[in-house]
Structure 1
Amino acid sequence: MTVDRLLPTPEAHDLLDLTRELATRELAGKVDDFEARGEFPREALRTLGRSGLLGLPYPEEAGGAGQPYEVYVQVLEVLAGTWLGIAEAVSVHTLSCLPVAFFGTAEQRKMLPDMLGGETLGAFALSEPQGGSDAASLTTRAVAEPDAWVVTGTKAWITHGGQADFYNLFCRTGGPGPKGISCLLADAATPGLLPQQPERLMGLRSSAPAQIVLEEARVPRDRLVGAEGEGFAIAMKALDAGRLGIAACAVGLAQGALDHAIGYAREREQFGQPIGRFQGLGFMLADMGTQISAARALLLNAARLKDAGRPFSTEAAKAKLFATDVAMRVTTDAVQILGGAGYVSDHPVERWFREAKVLQIVEGTNQIQRMVIARSLLG
């Protein structure tokens, strides 16, 4: 089902039409195979990049498309309705470009056209085995030498780990706490930067994260992004935007599950009529559709605040919290509507159900989102 959307410009309508066309032509026929094999769809991302979809919210002069976040999140939603692994990869890559785009030196910013065009793929290396939600306690350390930062530690749950061309490495260059953290831009070929085997996941198998072990990895001194000690602030700015991306993925996933459940409820007959005519199932579909619309409204409100240059962190947390919880409920109900058929992999709702869970965890767990919202309410 095509959602009726209010978009700011005719160009935005054309962009969403292009996204739907690419999703149908380039992605829909490949998702099951790539998910079954656990293979990362690098060429599909290059196709999206060459179509202008990997740098949407960044300025045209930097190699982006100059689109507002209001449009970017709806592009992600369309992609997620076909292949969540692709949409999540686009969201993470967009997040990974932010440090250089907003805090990079003039020399570092020369890399942006390739980043935003999708010729190079990024990773955001913040989490660690013992430091997920408590990012300020990270222990990966970078020691300054005359020509390089020597980095030692382990990063965990890194999307595009082993696939990325560049990594934002958040490291401790000073004392304890957030003010001791800096951001380094490391090439994948950096000696001592060692991606490990991808994790074996419940869902998102085509975009599985991996640990990155850093054994005295030498990152050139001129690859410090922003000022020394500014890394935690850079990470938080990126994560505020990244939460909008994950919320968009959740809305798209939920919409895809609802559309499939509607199609099944129209065609599947029991007791002489389509099952959708039974009030018990009809009301389930009504609740699913209403929850998705509410999640989309929260998402677009937060995106429009960001576009207007107004504070949006709390609204992004609300959108991420609500949209990902909705995705979990809607995919659960979609499996129920299909009954036994929903529990087999012949129908995509089984995959969507497994994938929805991770969205409640990544880019800050939903418990962390509640903390952010509560602190805002309490001042």
Structure 2
Amino acid sequence: MANRKDPMGIGLAVLNRIASSPAIDRLGLRKATERAVYQGAKSGFQAAGTANRTFKRVSGSGKARRQSRPSDSGLFDLTPTEDQQMIVGVMNEFASEVLRPAAEEADANDLTSKEVLSQTSEFGLTLLNVPEELGGLSEERSAVTGALVAEALSEGDMGQAVACLAPAAVATAISLWGSDEQQQTYLPSFTGDDVPAAALALSEPTALFDPLRPAATARREGGSLVLDGIKSGVVRGTEAELFVIGVELDGEPRLVIVESGSEGVSLAEDPSMGLRAASLTRLKLDGVRVEESALLGTSEDYRECVRLSRVAWAALAAGTGKAVFDYVKEYVKGREAFGEPIAHRQSVAFMVANIAIELEGLRLVTLKAASRLEQGRDASREVALARRLAADYGMKIGTDGVQLLGGHGFVKEHPVERWYRDLRAVAVMEGVVLV
């Protein structure tokens, strides 16, 4: 699934960053982290250094930095590298020990706590797809690793996972498609200790919304761009300092970098059925004027952004679907009716088995799409399949999970009703997260 020539570099860098963080003791992850770091060091690899850089506007003078693509071994191998196993292991621990216990409160308050957000910043989530020479963790980009991380975090709680991953999406977009000036201006803030709230805003509050044909517009006027329109589902919008926004310019979809302090930017709460912990907001652009240099990438880069986002949402669906499966599997074995566990009923057993089958199909297609994208190969078919399976199976798995719990599936005593609401979001959300 990924390059195996240097299997430990990025994983060990992440783990050493985590091990040096005081958050580990507060969150109870010290033992698991030290164990992983020890295993990595025992294999003879050293951690890559991370740079703390101060945010400042810079006029670029050179070529933009890009991460290289991993080499293709030519083998079909679905086994994660040791690098990926280390990262995902720690993320799984964080998801189960921190995100899962905090999920109910985060959902009720429509807010992911500052403590959780600061810890994921210390873990270096925003660094995974930033070039090493700009303060990131690796010279090579891995969409597969991004998908595995999203899946692991979502197994703890999708709403909090989205809130944690939103700044990383902006950092990834600027790393992939930004000019040297954009990279030098914005990326240092994502590689330091104080990572800003930031959001990738593509969705709009319109029926049958097509992300490739945004209603929000940009027009050239006096050497500047003037933006108008409304974006919805903007993660932590009221806190965000930076947005990457999808607009239509000259008949083509484009991405534009907009700072939250720009005149004409206004925000309002956008209460949602699911993903409540992501603090979704609505963003209004009313004659917002930015320099033409704020354009990010090309129209084809915008289309690539949509593809990367859809794979990320599929990975989130797989993670939450796994949480549903694990929960209902144990529930039906412990719940008794007519003197025996309901798992002995054929209809119940088949429904649980179908969840497992659907999860495997969704996960395999998602990883295949991510692998082809990171290798620079055409992944249109795989991305479309991942999107379709995530939308259909996500909804079905959530529905079946509620159904298997009967009346308990409808009440907040069990987390399945929250997972159902979160999974419903997968079919309608665009942007927000990237792999």
TM-score by length of 2: 0.74
Deviates more, 1:85-94 or 1:288-297: 85-94
Please give the secondary structure, in 2, of the residue aligned with 1:305. Answer: helix
Partner Cα distance (2:242, 2:205) in 1: 21
Cα 1:32–1:237 change in 2 (3 A) is same
1:20 corresponds to 2:96: no
Please give the secondary structure, in 2, of the residue aligned with 1:30. Answer: helix
1:115 corresponds to 2:190: yes
Once the two structures are TM-superposed, the CA of residue 250 in structure 1 deviates from its matched residue by 0.6
Once the two structures are TM-superposed, the CA of residue 313 in structure 1 deviates from its matched residue by 2.3
The residue that corresponds to 1:376 in the other structure is none
Q: String of CA shifts for 1:273-311, please: whole Å, max 9, x gaps.
A: 222122221121111111111111111111111222211
Please give the secondary structure, in 1, of the residue aligned with 2:387. Answer: helix
Once the two structures are TM-superposed, the CA of residue 223 in structure 1 deviates from its matched residue by 2.4
Off by >4 Å, runs of 4+ in structure 1: none
Please give the secondary structure, in 2, of the residue aligned with 1:109. Answer: helix
- Letter of the aligned partner of 1:120 in structure 2? P
Q: Pairwise mapping of residues 265-276 of structure 1 onto structure 2 (< 5 A)?
A: 265-276=332-343
Cα 1:8–1:208 change in 2 (3 A) is same
Identify the match of residue 328 of structure 1 among 384, 395, 401. Answer: 395
Identify the match of residue 213 of structure 2 among 136, 144, 153. Answer: 136
Q: String of CA shifts for 1:245-281, please: whole Å, max 9, x gaps.
A: 0000111111100111011112222233222122221
1:161 corresponds to 2:233: no
Please give the secondary structure, in 1, of the residue aligned with 2:271. Answer: coil
Partner Cα distance (1:219, 1:320) in 2: 33
1:202 corresponds to 2:202: no
Please give the secondary structure, in 1, of the residue aligned with 2:430. Answer: coil
1:237 corresponds to 2:311: no
Conserved 8 A contact 1:31-1:83? yes
Please give the secondary structure, in 2, of the residue aligned with 1:32. Answer: helix
Once the two structures are TM-superposed, the CA of residue 33 in structure 1 deviates from its matched residue by 0.5
1:183 corresponds to 2:258: no
The residue that corresponds to 1:370 in the other structure is none
Identify the match of residue 319 of structure 2 among 252, 269, 283. Answer: 252
Partner Cα distance (2:312, 2:213) in 1: 22
Partner Cα distance (1:204, 1:130) in 2: 19
1:35 corresponds to 2:107: yes
The residue that corresponds to 2:284 in the other structure is 213
1:99 corresponds to 2:168: no
Cα 1:324–1:41 change in 2 (3 A) is farther
Q: String of CA shifts for 1:183-215, please: whole Å, max 9, x gaps.
A: 32111122221112x212111112243221223
Conserved 8 A contact 1:76-1:90? no
Cα 1:116–1:298 change in 2 (3 A) is farther
Conserved 8 A contact 2:130-2:171? no
Partner Cα distance (2:113, 2:321) in 1: 22
Cα 1:306–1:135 change in 2 (3 A) is closer
The residue that corresponds to 1:372 in the other structure is none
Segments of structure 2 that go 5 or more residues without pairing to the other structure are: 1-76
Partner Cα distance (2:118, 2:421) in 1: 26
Q: State the Cα RMSD in Å.
A: 2.5
Q: String of CA shifts for 1:7-64, please: whole Å, max 9, x gaps.
A: 4322211111110221133222211011011124454233112102233244333333
Once the two structures are TM-superposed, the CA of residue 129 in structure 1 deviates from its matched residue by 4.0
Conserved 8 A contact 2:143-2:374? yes
Cα 1:63–1:277 change in 2 (3 A) is farther
Instruction: Give aligned pairs, total.
Output: 350
Once the two structures are TM-superposed, the CA of residue 85 in structure 1 deviates from its matched residue by 0.8
Conserved 8 A contact 1:332-1:353? yes
The residue that corresponds to 2:151 in the other structure is 77
The residue that corresponds to 1:295 in the other structure is 362
Partner Cα distance (1:88, 1:116) in 2: 19
Deviates more, 1:113-122 or 1:6-15: 113-122
Partner Cα distance (1:137, 1:69) in 2: 25
1:348 corresponds to 2:420: no
Q: Which has the higher contact order (CA 8 A, sep 6+)?
A: 2
